[in-house]
Amino acid sequence: MKPKTRLRKNTRFSEKKILQIVEYFCDDCTADYTSKKLGISGKTIDDWYMYLRKVLLWYQERERSEVLG
């Protein structure tokens, strides 16, 4: 099965749906609110929110190590 997106392995969501999740995340919407608005289970949105937090943490750590050398 060919993945629908290059943004995350093993996802069944289209890039459009993922970008909607990211938009709600960036707007500081709760996972419950995002779940209801997009019609996706709360557990799935919780998983995506955690994934986005890990990506942000990875990026911040990478930036910090480049600055500090």
CB–CB of 34/24 below 8 Å? yes
Q: How far is CA 18 from CA 22, 51, 63, 67, in A?
A: 6, 12, 25, 31
**7 in a structural domain:** no
10 in any annotated domain: no
Q: Is 54 inside any structural domain?
A: yes
Place of tokens 């969501």: 13
pLDDT means over runs of 10, the chain (69 residues): 60 90 97 97 96 93 81
Q: Which domain holds residue 40?
A: 15-68
Q: What pLDDT does 64 receive? A: 83
pLDDT of residue 28: 97
Q: What's the pLDDT at 27? A: 97
Res 30: pLDDT: 97
Tell me, what's the pLDDT at 11?
Answer: 80
CB 4 within 8 A of CB 13: yes
